[in-house]
């Protein structure tokens, strides 16, 4: 980190229950301020796991995209999303379309992939009337707080993500893979260690076997890194789950997670994970113009229920390969 960048970054506020916060004092273009303080901002994220920058005045997608690009070494395309996003240009997206009244539980972005962002960037163009915080939780701290026997099993077995793609609920094949051409989808699955089968009705089912615990590629710290609780049936609204099981069957849910050996997860396991997350959650209500930076491998994030309009843009930066994170299970290409 250059000393000049560190000198101009205002003091970081560290308060219990809130993410680290810095107030930007800008006169003019937010992307110029971000470029000037890039090293210091990235160093703060590496130290704390996340950083909320307040006062940038971000209000429209083009300027926001410029800020995102100046803070990263490269932006990723959003692959295999579980819910649709709107694209605002290369590498800049809306937040995932998820019912406003439902919690989007803690997770690490694309932790079911063989490549995932090292840095997440969120910008609030319009803050909601109430709720809607993008909260964060520290993966190494969560790992230490989880029951040791549960962690040991997940380290030994990993976790399974099962998905069923159809045109009625969740992301479609075309939205998830960028194409509905079967040959192209199959090539993607083979290249990314995804087992796949086409059903008689034309729908696609996939299985991904991944590590639940990885090592941070820079710090080497062990991190709880997955979407085990978020993409599990027991995290769904009970009425939604009941409806989906009734219509599609327990094996046809749009997404579900299991132990690595295929055993179903009990509701108690999912509750335990979410309770540990909640005990270590940091949250700060969005204000319009805010920027949030998140070390995706170290830090989980969530989206809380909200009221009123809410516009938050997101970008996936600094791609990292799973093989660079010391996975505890071998990823096999089908």
- Whether residue 182 is predicted with pLDDT greater than 70 in this model: the reply is yes
Q: What is the pLDDT of residue 169?
A: 76
Tokens 């609030």 sit on residue: 124
Task: Give me the numbers of helices (H) and strands (E) for the chain, helices first please.
Answer: 10, 19
- Pick the range with the lowest mean pLDDT from 22-31, 84-93, 162-171: 162-171
- Per-residue pLDDT tens digits for 90-113: 899 988 888 898 889 999 999 999
Ramachandran category for residue 73: left, alpha or beta (phi over 0 → left; psi -120 to 50 → alpha)? alpha
- Per-residue pLDDT tens digits for 248-276: 888 889 999 999 999 999 999 999 999 99
**Overall pTM > 0.85:** yes
Classified as helix, coil or strand, 122 is strand
Mean pLDDT in residue range 161-187:
90
Mean pLDDT in residue range 223-247:
93
Residue 314, strand partner residues: 93, 122
Contact status, residue 297 vs residue 54, Cβ threshold 8 Å: no
Q: Which residues of 248-278 are buried (b: 16+ CB within 10 A; e: fewer)?
A: beeebbbbbbbbbeeeebeeebbeebbebbe
Structure tokens belonging to residue 210? 């991944």
**What residue ranges define each of the domains in the chain, with the CATH number in brackets?**
3-97+113-127+284-297+307-315 (3.60.130.10), 141-275 (3.60.130.10)
Round to whole Å and give the CA distance between 222 and 144. 9
| Element containing residue 195 per DSSP (H, E) | strand 195-198
- Beta carbons within 8 Å of 36's beta carbon, 6+ residues apart: 5, 8
Round to whole Å and give the CA distance between 64 and 66. 5
């Amino acid at each position: 980190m250059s000393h000049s960048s560190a000198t101009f970054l205002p003091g970081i506020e560290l308060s219990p229950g809130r993410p680290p916060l810095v107030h930007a004092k800008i006169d003019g273009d937010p992307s110029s301020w971000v470029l000037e303080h890039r090293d210091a901002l990235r160093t703060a994220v590496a130290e704390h796991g996340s950083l909320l920058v307040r006062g940038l005045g971000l209000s429209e997608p083009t300027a926001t995209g410029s800020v995102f690009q100046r803070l990263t070494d490269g932006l990723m395309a959003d692959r295999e999303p579980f819910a649709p996003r709107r694209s605002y240009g290369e590498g800049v997206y809306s937040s995932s379309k998820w019912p406003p009244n439902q919690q989007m539980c803690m997770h690490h972005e694309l932790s079911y992939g063989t490549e995932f962002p090292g840095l997440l960037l969120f910008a609030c163009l319009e803050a909601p009337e109430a709720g809607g915080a993008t909260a964060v939780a520290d993966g190494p701290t969560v790992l230490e707080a989880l029951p040791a026997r549960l962690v040991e099993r997940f380290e030994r077995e990993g976790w399974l993500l099962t998905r069923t793609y159809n045109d009625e609920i969740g992301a479609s094949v075309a939205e998830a893979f960028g194409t509905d051409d079967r040959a192209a989808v199959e090539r993607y699955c083979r290249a990314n260690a995804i087992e796949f089968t086409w059903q008689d009705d034309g729908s696609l089912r996939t299985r991904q076997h991944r590590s639940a615990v990885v090592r941070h590629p820079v710090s080497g710290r062990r991190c709880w890194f997955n979407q085990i609780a978020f993409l599990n049936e027991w995290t769904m609204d009970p009425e939604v789950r009941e409806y989906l099981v009734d219509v599609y069957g327990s094996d046809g849910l749009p997404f579900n997670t299991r132990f690595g050996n295929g055993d179903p997860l009990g509701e108690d396991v999912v509750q335990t994970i979410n309770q540990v997350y909640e005990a270590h959650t940091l949250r700060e209500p969005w204000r319009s113009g805010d920027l949030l930076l998140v070390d995706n491998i170290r830090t989980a994030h969530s989206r809380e229920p909200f009221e009123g309009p809410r516009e938050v843009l997101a970008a996936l930066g600094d791609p990292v390969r799973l093989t660079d994170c010391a996975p505890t299970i071998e990823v096999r290409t089908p």
